Amino acid sequence: MSREIRITPSILNADFSRLDQEIRKIAEVSDLLHLDVMDDVFVPNFTFDFEAASAIIKTSVLAVDAHLMVANVDEVAVQYAEIGCASVTIHAEATKNIPQTLRNIRKAGSRSSLGIKPNTDISDYHSVIDDVDMFLIMTVEPGFGGQSFMENMMDKVRRTREMIGDRPIWLQVDGGISMKTIEMALDAGADTFVVGSAVFNAPDPAAMVVSLREYATAHGNK
Ligand code: DX5
Ligand code: ZN
């Protein structure tokens, strides 16, 4: 079965002092810009508060896939949707009312996405499947770019793909994706790939996005 592939580069390892230029490097060949928002509470790292993230979202030439790694995310998630993100991911571990917050994100005009950390089981979230436009399976512990891909998450990706069945829900993986690891995630059923360091550490980031997409499309349609 042919599968639509999406590449969503993460700017976590890009040069924050000239983000605008960094985003332009990959804008034409990427589906969405993956924006990692970290609060130093839910994860041991800080990237942007809402104000700083809003400035990026409002000026980005590429539509934004906001990955919110923040505690007590229920209210702020809706604000991210309201300012125009294409997709907003909340973490199951950080959300008080998961179905309600997913619905509120949709109502505000964004795709709703539920992310889970490596130690969280996906089967607990079958009950919210009708409120979800994307599942994000973390393939590293959230917090930092450049970590090694956790191959042992592939069983969870496979189970999530089974759970999704015929529904038009995207299945995203995030952490350690590169030309070396994308095949495993594809085989397990992922269709949407966050790629941080493998893109921004490449000599030509746009060419890397194109290579990943070509490989994934060819492999996915075999
Ligand atoms: C980690 C972030 C990822 C990260 C991916 O917490 O959610 O999006 O930036 O970076 P790489 O591809 O380098 O693992
Ligand atoms: Zn991320």
CA distance linking residue 72 with residue 90, whole number of Å: 10
User: What element of type H or E holds 100?
Assistant: helix 98-107
Give the number of other CB atoms < 10 A from CB of residue 213. 18
From the number of C-beta atoms within 10 Å of its C-beta (0-12, 13-18, 19+), residue 83 rates as middle
pTM above 0.95, yes or no: yes
Q: Is residue 53 part of a domain?
A: yes
Is 32 contained in some domain? yes
**Does the residue 31 lie in any domain?**
yes
CATH code of residue 132? 3.20.20.70
Q: Which of 11, 12, 144, 201 to mutate to test the pocket of ligand 1 (most atoms within 8 A of CB)?
A: 12
End-to-end CA distance of the chain: 9
* Mean pLDDT, residues 69-83 taken together: 98
pLDDT, position 220: 72
Q: Name the pLDDT band for 221 (thresholds 50, 70, 90).
A: low
Residues 6+ apart with CB under 8 A from 119: none
Q: Interior CA angle at 74 toward 149 and 100, to 5°?
A: 105
33 secondary structure, DSSP code: E
Give residue 142 CA to ligand 2 midpoint distance, Å. Answer: 7
> Is pLDDT above 80 for 2?
no
pLDDT at 164 over 90: yes
* pLDDT band at 3; cut points 50, 70, 90: confident
What is the total count of domains within the chain? 1
Which domain range does residue 169 map to? 6-220
Would 34 be classed as within a structural domain? Answer: yes
What type of residue sits at position 23? I
Would you please indicate which residues are annotated as catalytic (active-site) residues?
36, 174
Cα–Cα dist 104/110, whole Å: 9
| Number of the ligand 1 atom closest to the C-alpha atom of 34 | 8
> Ligand 1 atom 9: the closest Cα is on which residue?
145
| Ligand 1 atom with least separation from CA of 12 | 9
Separation CA 178–CA 81 (nearest Å): 29
Residue 1 lies in a domain: no
State yes or no: pLDDT of 182 exceeds 60.
yes
* 115 pocket-lining for ligand 1 (C-beta < 6 Å): no
With 80 as the cut, is the pLDDT of residue 1 above it?
no
- For the record, the structure tokens of 53 come out as 């993230």
pLDDT tens profile 95-144: 999 999 999 999 999 999 999 999 999 999 999 999 999 999 999 999 99
